[in-house]
């Protein structure tokens, strides 16, 4: 059997193949973050035919202060649940599993968008944000954000999703704590790698407590900043091991402060140097996204042991029939 077609099970998540639609922002939610017909139609179209093993939604904010842009979906209160239940029903009816990515954008937010103060690990503007200088979070505020992630994860489960993904990449809040370029703290949330991932570990533990022992937790890790003085692969190896021990079930590996791009590279699986390093130190599945435009490329990355799951973003974004043709091409 093709590697791409092999099933994979993690806790209660049972995937029929290794193909994943990764999070891609649509800005199709209403201005207050609630569900719209356009957002439902988008995920209906992308998951139609059930060829995608797992659909991961775009990042959804856990609190309005962490909202990245107008039109970003919200999972910040129980009033969003009915809309998300419609979403999971659509994706499940089409034959795919669904996870929601939850996020706080931190220094990548703007006061103009949220109406609230911009906060982060330190008073350093996020490279992925509008350039506003954030205020460093206090310990009490960090604890409150940890609680907001946990409450959001509980809602994700109640809405019928099959898993929840914690966003810790692409220059958003958890990535801002992880990167030495944006984290200059001198308390227990700064300094060495274990200090800089303290908030991640607190989020993971709180999310696990909120969703129970069987519900799958994914974490998207910005594993390298590709910038002088930024996060290195060596940091992410330490972080990945700690995340597995804390209760993460799948690691979704991508870029850090440079976002989903690896500068100077566009070959299939261009983050493979990161997934290979992480796979050497963890026993949980590792996901690789970036540059894959053909089913054969995804297959080869799996055969070569670069990852356990392959995310295909832009090809599916451009062509909603891509996944069905790709899976059909791998069938005997």
Residues involved in catalysis:
172
SS3 letters across the chain = CCCCCCCEEECCEEECCCEEECCCCCCCCCCCCCCCHHHHHHHHHHHCCCCCCEEECCCEECCHHHCCCCCCCECCCHHHHHHHHHHHHHHHHHCCEEEEEEECCHHHCCHHHHCCCCEECCCCCCCCCCCCCCEECCHHHHHHHHHHHHHHHHHHHHCCCCEEEEEECCCCHHHHHHCCCCCCCCCCCCCCHHHHCHHHHHHHHHHHHHHCCCCCEEEEEECCCCCCCCCCHHHHHHHHHHHHHHCCCEEEEECCCCCCCECCECCCCCCHHHHHHHHCCCCCCEEEECCCCCHHHHHHHHHCCCCCEEECCHHHHHCCCHHHHHHHHHCC
């Amino acid at each position: 059997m093709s590697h791409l077609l092999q099933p994979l099970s993690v806790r209660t998540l049972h995937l029929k193949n290794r193909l994943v639609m990764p999070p891609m922002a649509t800005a199709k939610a209403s201005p207050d973050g609630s569900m719209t017909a356009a957002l439902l139609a988008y995920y209906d179209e992308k998951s139609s035919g059930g060829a995608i093993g797992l659909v991961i939604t775009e990042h959804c904010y856990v609190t309005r202060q962490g909202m990245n842009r107008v039109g970003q979906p919200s999972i910040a209160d129980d009033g969003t649940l009915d809309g998300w239940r419609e979403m999971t029903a659509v994706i499940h009816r089409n034959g795919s599993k669904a996870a929601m990515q939850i996020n706080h954008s931190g220094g990548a937010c703007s006061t103009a968008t949220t109406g609230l103060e911009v906060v982060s690990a330190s008073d350093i503007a996020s490279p992925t944000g509008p350039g506003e200088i954030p205020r460093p979070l206090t310990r009490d505020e960090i604890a409150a954000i940890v609680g907001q992630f946990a409450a959001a994860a509980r809602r994700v489960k109640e809405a019928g999703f099959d898993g929840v993904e914690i966003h810790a990449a692409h220059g958003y809040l958890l990535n801002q704590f992880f990167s030495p370029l944006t984290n200059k703290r001198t308390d227990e949330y700064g300094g060495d790698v274990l200090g800089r991932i303290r908030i991640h570990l607190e989020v993971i533990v709180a999310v696990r407590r909120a969703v129970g022992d069987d519900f799958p937790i994914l974490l998207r890790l910005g594993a390298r900043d590709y910038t002088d003085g930024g996060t290195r692969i060596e940091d992410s190896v330490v972080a990945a091991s700690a995340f597995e021990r804390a209760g993460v079930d799948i690691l979704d590996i991508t870029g850090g402060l440079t976002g989903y791009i690896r500068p100077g590279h566009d070959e299939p699986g261009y983050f493979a140097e990161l997934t290979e390093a992480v796979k050497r130190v963890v026993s949980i599945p590792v996901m690789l996204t970036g540059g894959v435009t053909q089913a054969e490329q995804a297959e080869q990355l799996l055969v070569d042991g670069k990852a356990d799951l392959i995310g295909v973003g832009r090809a599916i974004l451009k062509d909603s029939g891509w996944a069905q043709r790709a899976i059909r091409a791998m069938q005997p």
